[in-house]
Structure 1
Amino acid sequence: MQTVKAHGASIPALGFGVFRMSDDEVERVVPAALEAGFRHFDTAQIYQNEAALGRALAKAGARRDDLFLTTKVWVDNYHPDRFLDSVEESLDRLRVDRVDLLLLHWPGDAVPIAEQIAMLNAVQSAGRTLHVGVSNQTIAQMREAVALSAAPILTNQIEAHPYLDQRAVAAAAKAEGVAVTAYFGMADGAVPQDVQLAAIGRRYGKSAAQVGLRFLLQQGFVALSKTAKPDRVAENIAVFDFELTEAEMAAITGLARADGRRVSPPGLAPAWD
């Protein structure tokens, strides 16, 4: 699979995310994802399905060295007496001794970012993660994280899809050597139903959803796909055999609008760029 490179790491460009999926759904769909060729899996403490992902990967016989596993520390655990313990609990649930990438899930303001980064670095120094990163950070927060972190900040995982213009954040990330990981790429179901994306897809024999994923990949992003239906997995990964033209990329970029953001939880969301 195509990879995105940052700070010497190679991240599989298309990941499989398990946000808002039950244990049963995870355990049903992960074997199909492995069969289709997915090796990058993304979860989080707050999803409460790390254990289901760990069980599914183990039961399917996935080789640990073939996998790229990401999880995220929840904001309630941004304290010295909880941070490392919470990561150890995540590793136990995932049935591994380390993850490939550990992220701070949301910026949070109860604990200074310098302390958050110090704890993240301590986990990396302890060998519990190969790489560290952030999620949902603004340009200023990302730059501060990069400046504070002894370990390279590998990625900023942010909401990205055709209706949300993230070019400024992406440009700032590139300048810092930080990869962008795009989540919510289907915009909560809007992308697969988009008539303009469907029209573009017909030129290639692809669905609107595949066009949406391709749009993210061609910007150099790591794209997280998701489906709870095993019979849809093959469609999600079949996005490397066509290429959108510059005109098509520009047309899709033009779908962005001021109110395009879907994920902005009160009490967690920063003042977005």
Structure 2
Amino acid sequence: MSHQVPDSDDVPEADAMPMLGLGTWQNDDPDDCADAVETALNMGYRHIDTAQAYDNEEAVGRGIQNADVDREDVFLATKVWIDNLSYDDVLATTEESLDKLGVDYVDLLYVHWPSREYDPEETFRAFDELVDDGKVERIGISNFEPEQVDEAVETADNAIFANQIELHPLLPQKELREHCADRDVEIVAYSPLARGEVFDVPELSDVAEKHGVSEAQVSLAWLREKGVTAIPKATGEDHISDNWASLSVELDDEDVEKIDGIDRTERQVDPGFAPW
């Protein structure tokens, strides 16, 4: 299994959104979470993703502070939970997130789901104010379907930078990806390894064997071929390193066609308040 470190030329510039990041969903042990963030940043990662609902912003902040990387070189994203999406609550809880993270601003702030207290006019009024105040660089949405994407784009004063959605070879989301591309909204894939299911997909195993890499690396390389940013969660150094090595995997047209042809669809995250 390859753990080759990618060339520096493979790593996107810090002022853009790096196409491979570290996800921290369900990484709720504070020490494990802080260690994972520190390990990833020291390895070369420059994109860290968290959320209010993950209850680990403090640990993520500690990992960033402990790493041998300047804050300005880290693309840091968090998300406002569905209970906190009224105008006043967005402002108050984002301040709390900044305090927990130990930072003056985040590079990207998402609406976590278009649900519960979400009101486009009021929610984005607060998001826009946070941009004006220099506390948020970019605003994003998460788990938005095409109709909600359009509403967000038309409501917010600032551009909607990205839509973070579940996306992997078992849930390719082609229609939603195309819709977001038409609206100039980037795609960020959470659960890009289908919460481990990618290791049991014959097509991915065939491509992985062909390249001498893991199924995880193949899945992440496939997402990169689609122009999608991926934020796989990983805790141990081996998994963090294996995902990082995906930047060196180059899939050919035959590989991509084989993965595109997987005849199996599985959504891993499906709460009752989802918009689909």
TM-score (structure 2 length as normaliser): 0.92
Tell me if 1:75 matches 2:82: yes
Could you tell me whether the CA contact under 8 Å between 1:28 and 1:230 is conserved in 2? no
Say what the alpha-carbon RMSD is for the aligned residues.
1.7
Could you tell me whether the CA contact under 8 Å between 1:183 and 1:224 is conserved in 2? yes
* Aligned twin of 1:15: 21
Q: Residue by residue, what CA displacement relative to the aligned partner does 1:117-141 show, whole Å, maximum 9, x if unpaired?
A: 2221111111111000100000110
Once the two structures are TM-superposed, the CA of residue 83 in structure 1 deviates from its matched residue by 1.1
Q: In the alignment, which of 133, 145, 148 is matched to residue 140 of structure 2?
A: 133
Q: Classify the secondary structure of the residue corresponding to 1:158.
A: strand
Q: 1:4 to 1:225 in 2, by over 3 A?
A: farther
Once the two structures are TM-superposed, the CA of residue 257 in structure 1 deviates from its matched residue by 3.5
Structure 1 regions of 5+ residues with no counterpart? Answer: none
Tell me if 1:164 matches 2:171: yes
Once the two structures are TM-superposed, the CA of residue 40 in structure 1 deviates from its matched residue by 0.4
Q: Residue by residue, what CA displacement relative to the aligned partner does 1:114-172 show, whole Å, maximum 9, x if unpaired?
A: 22222211111111110001000001100110111110100000000111131111111
Greater share of strand: 1
Tell me if 1:224 matches 2:226: no
Tell me the distance in 2 between the aligned counterparts of 1:3 and 1:257.
Answer: 32
Greater share of helix: 2
Tell me the distance in 2 between the aligned counterparts of 1:206 and 1:125.
Answer: 45
Q: 1:2 to 1:170 in 2, by over 3 A?
A: farther
Q: Classify the secondary structure of the residue corresponding to 1:203.
A: helix
Tell me if 1:269 matches 2:253: no
Whichever residue aligns with residue 123 of structure 2, its letter is: Q
* Aligned twin of 1:60: 67
Could you tell me whether the CA contact under 8 Å between 1:104 and 1:135 is conserved in 2? yes
Once the two structures are TM-superposed, the CA of residue 256 in structure 1 deviates from its matched residue by 5.1
Q: Classify the secondary structure of the residue corresponding to 2:163.
A: strand
Structure 2 regions of 5+ residues with no counterpart? Answer: 1-9
* Aligned twin of 2:253: 246
Tell me the distance in 2 between the aligned counterparts of 1:118 and 1:91.
Answer: 19
Could you tell me whether the CA contact under 8 Å between 1:4 and 1:220 is conserved in 2? no
Tell me the distance in 1 between the aligned counterparts of 2:90 and 2:26.
Answer: 23
Once the two structures are TM-superposed, the CA of residue 240 in structure 1 deviates from its matched residue by 2.1
Once the two structures are TM-superposed, the CA of residue 109 in structure 1 deviates from its matched residue by 4.4
Could you tell me whether the CA contact under 8 Å between 2:105 and 2:135 is conserved in 1? yes
How many residues in Structure 1 have an aligned counterpart in Structure 2? 266
Once the two structures are TM-superposed, the CA of residue 2 in structure 1 deviates from its matched residue by 4.0
